[in-house]
Structure 1
Amino acid sequence: MSRHGLRPLLWLALLLPGLALAQDESREGRRSHGHHGAPHHGPVVVPEGVKVPTWDELTPAQQASVERLRERWDGLPASQRVMALERAERRARWEAMTPEQRERIREGMRNYRELPPELRERMRESMRAMRALPEDERKELSARWRALSPEQRRAWLEAGGPGQVPQPPEAGGQAD
């Protein structure tokens, strides 16, 4: 556990939806395993009826971001094209962040990696549940999470985590 206690990916997922888990899949060349040997969760499923753009249908900015795939783009499976566009979008968001924001994310990733596997799994479940909540509820839970001490955050996570269970009384809040 870091000197800052439990402040891993959960707060990141609450503040920057989609980016936290995206870090595991953001490095090129990882097909069977994500970041730090975590299993990759398979190809992106493109919903029926969704048309993935051909090279000529991409915006100039998108073309620039996936230029290395230009010659193969139209022959790639739709799932690979979707993943390439998502990686490019995450890269652009990362590059737009301040050094302070990037360091907070790096610290969160370090803290996350230090968690025991069972707490990491609880955190992933909590993040899935959080993403399913309406935005106002997500923001409220995020604010509650940030207001807690590292010990209180850990207690809440051990109980199931935000989005899964109400904040436990021992975590400094009222059970809902």
Structure 2
Amino acid sequence: MSDLASEAPAPAAPSVPSAPAAPSAPSPQTAGSAPDPQDDSGFARLAMVTIDCADPVALAAFYGELLGWETRHVDERFAILDNPEGGSPLGFGRVSGYRPEPWTEPDGSKHFHLDFYVDDLEESTAKALALGATEPGYQHGRTLRVLIDPAGHPFGLAPLEQAIGQ
């Protein structure tokens, strides 16, 4: 979590669809027994993914253009993009002393990455590069194209037909 939570009031909570109804009676468990693997009801739902960065205004603008999402909130410390399909929004929070994740080598580490389906991999790569992404020298060698966003986070572009063919 970024240091924003302690510095500023939280932005307005996103509208989250209501949770599915809970089962009428929980499945019985004896002390020390493992949870039922068939029980996938969970108890939490994703409200938002927040990406730490040095400049939330610039990073929100980058992803807003990349995804075609509208900005709900933006200030120098935090920005939110709404998902037009009704899913979780993306947040961007300023972190003092932010440093990009190392990923330029095959064994480089990363904290997270986002993957996106695209209609045309070459055209979408060119558009992302024009928006300010960079392409590292190392690629996995698969159909996924890894790019680096302006804050240094890796993200992937993959052809949509790859998902349809699965």
| Greater relative contact order (CA < 8 Å, ≥ 6 in sequence) | 1
TM-score, L = length of structure 1: 0.23
Q: Whose strand proportion is higher, 1 or 2?
A: 2
TM-score, L = length of structure 2: 0.23
Q: Whose helix proportion is higher, 1 or 2?
A: 1
Question: Based on CA coordinates, which of the two structures has the bigger radius of gyration?
Answer: 2
